[in-house]
Chain A
Amino acid sequence: MQGLIAHLAAGLGAGLAVIGAGYGIGRLAGSALEGMARQPEASGDIRTSMIIAAALIEGIAFLSLVICLMLALKA
């Protein structure tokens, strides 16, 4: 029973983490594209900052995914 609940928690947690990270990166990319379309000459700087911010969001998402993986494997 305990293993079952741990697996359930891991699955739900992974899904929730992906929702958050997807929303965050989607908003980020949308705003960055808008900025690039308005100011094409600044697209290089915007792209670099976008990649950094995306990596920060991704890092947090991966942190939760690692926790989910640990839950699923230790259960």
Chain B
Amino acid sequence: MSTMLNKPNDGIDETLFTLAEYDARAAELGGYSNYSYWRSTWQVFLKNRTAFVLMIIILVLLIFTMIQPYLPNQKLPNEIYLDPATKMQLRNHPPDAEYWFGTNSIGQDLWARIWSGTRTSLYIGVVVGFLTAILGIIVGAIWGYVRRLERLFTEIYNVFDNIPTTVILVLLTYIMRPSLSTLIFAMCITGWLSVSRMIRNMIVIIRDQEYNLASRCLGTPTGRVITKNLLPYLVSVIMLRIALAIPIAIGSEVFLTYIGLGLPVDIPSLGNLINEGRLVMMSASLRYQLFFPAIVLSIITISFYVMGNAFGDAADPRNHV
């Protein structure tokens, strides 16, 4: 395009003009606004001190979790360590300089297991968050936008919404053998329903506004109206859902492990570790095995929850100045 728009040579000396530097105050006088949705969202988010601090904490934690195996002097999560003096398994060794979080009841290093478990749990959370978001958006967008299907989808939703999620979760993991993919599958099956309803409600609100009417009059195909006109408005809500799906998924994993349907012990996860800690919690000297995973888990879930909510508030244009 640019090659076609050659400036006509009207004899003006280009060297007489210089580009003015951007000045916010002068721009305002001229009635120009440099409002940017994402910058305003970010500014409002930064005003929430708690959420900001938690964001820093979670970022540090995430980066550390990722690089932990590559740091020097790290132990392996599944290796059983022996006591150098007796050559026996180093059972329930309290935290010290060598084993920072101590060892568990068969002599595995809790520090390494906790970070390995955090990786597993976060992996489950993020995958479930994204998959439910994708599935929920597809169903919700069709449900909200295609009028002919609306009644049918609503009836189907009403029937499925009556089925308690806990029961589905328990049943599916019971029938399929416990594994990472089983957990993710079961959580996705139960998770997408609420996302799709929320997306549907948003779309119903904005679908009949004038610019969409105009698009329809111009004969824009439904698919393009959904992706270009509607979905951009939903980005913030979708991100909020993903952020909130992570603590929920981590919680479900703990629950399923707790009732005996979780991952096998050789795949450490926060649920597994807390369950191991639960078994020894009655003797006060071994409670560190419950505390450390519980603390790491609480930091992660609370951070995501608070950040998600703060971001949801910040993404609402009504809160922008």
A binds B: no
What residues of chain B have their CB less than 8 Å away from a CB belonging to chain A? Answer: none
